[in-house]
């Protein structure tokens, strides 16, 4: 009989009592090793904790297995104390890459930051943002007047993107969702799906009058004049899912809820 796929486990949890209690019980049952000695990281919480964990271990080769002990757990497996080692051994692996955002401010400063969920641009004042969108160097939308815009990965498509009525993308889909936030003109434009290998450039028009901020997940830059986003294929994190996780079913169910 072969040895279990993962034996040395490091646990991380959100700071809620429910997640911390779950962590203590799992450590008592399975033991724990330091992160630098681990084969796998088990994250206990919701999708917010999963996002933090993905960033935290982006430069490592440790796969991440999430169990739901939070408020939202679209990307988390069902929580069960029993059979954890067996579940880790049987889990299916999905490799995800972050978007890399490069934002240029009105003073000429350049900021780079990765985003596993989304890169978003948001108006900073009562004035709507006025944006110009290019894909791979070709201008696709000359003027978009809106509250903002989201470039979402498949992993992030069920987060802010979904709240803005963007499409849900299955993990592993080679697409990015470009979703406007409260578009005023063109009013009928509902966004676009673009290949994940594409470079997306967004220019801020009338930046002095209509200031805009940009965010890569939790990293924010204010008073920007231009943003580019493209998938960083040199960086990745592996996520683990139970074979019966039912992510495809969740995606279908979300799209038929009214």
Residues whose CB falls within 8 Å of the CB of residue 258, separated by 6 or more in sequence, listed in order? none
Q: Is 201 annotated as a binding residue?
A: no
**Residue 162 marked as a ligand binder:** yes
Parallel/antiparallel/unpaired status of strands 40-45 and 64-68: parallel
Of 4, 213, 44, 165, the C-alpha closest to 177 is 165
Q: Is 155 flagged in the annotation as binding?
A: yes
Residue 137 contacts residue 220 (beta carbons within 8 Å): no
Q: State yes or no: 158 annotated in a binding site.
A: yes
Catalytic-residue membership of 37? no
The reply, when asked if residue 182 is annotated as ligand binding, is no
235 is in an annotated binding site: no
Tokens representing 176 are 């990015």
Specify whether the CB–CB gap between 40 and 6 falls below 8 A.
yes
13 marked among binding-site residues = no
* 223 annotated to a ligand binding site: no
**Residue 177 backbone phi and psi in degrees, to 5:** -100, 130
117 appears as a binding residue in the annotation: yes
Q: Which of 37, 47, 136, 223 is catalytic?
A: 47
Q: Is 141 annotated as a binding-site member?
A: no
Active-site residues, by number, are 47
Binding residues: 47-48, 117-118, 147, 155, 158-163
Binding residues for NAD(+): 47-48, 117-118, 147, 155, 158-163
């Amino acid at each position: 009989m072969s040895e279990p796929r993962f034996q040395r486990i490091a646990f991380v949890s959100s700071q809620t009592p429910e997640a911390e209690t779950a962590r203590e019980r799992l450590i008592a049952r399975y033991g724990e090793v330091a992160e630098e000695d681990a084969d796998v990281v088990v994250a206990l919480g919701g999708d917010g904790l999963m996002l933090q964990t993905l960033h935290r271990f982006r430069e490592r080769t440790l796969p991440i297995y999430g169990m739901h002990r939070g408020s939202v757990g679209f990307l988390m497996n069902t929580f069960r104390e029993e059979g954890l080692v067996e579940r880790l051994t049987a889990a299916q692996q999905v490799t995800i890459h972050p978007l890399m955002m490069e934002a240029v401010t009105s003073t000429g400063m350049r900021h780079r930051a990765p985003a596993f969920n989304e890169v978003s641009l948001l108006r900073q004042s009562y004035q709507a943002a006025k944006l110009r969108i290019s894909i791979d160097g070709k201008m696709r939308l000359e003027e978009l007047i809106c509250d903002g815009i989201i470039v979402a990965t498949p992993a992030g498509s069920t987060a802010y993107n979904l709240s803005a009525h963007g499409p849900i993308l299955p993990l592993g889909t080679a697409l990015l969702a470009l979703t406007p936030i409260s578009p005023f003109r063109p009013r009928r434009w509902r966004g676009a799906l673009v290949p994940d290998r594409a470079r997306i450039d967004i220019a801020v028009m009338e930046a002095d009058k209509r200031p805009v901020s940009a965010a890569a997940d939790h990293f924010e830059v204010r008073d920007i004049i231009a943003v580019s986003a493209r998938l960083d294929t040199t960086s990745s994190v592996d996520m683990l899912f139970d074979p019966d996780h039912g992510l495809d079913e969740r995606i279908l169910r979300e799209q038929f809820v009214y």
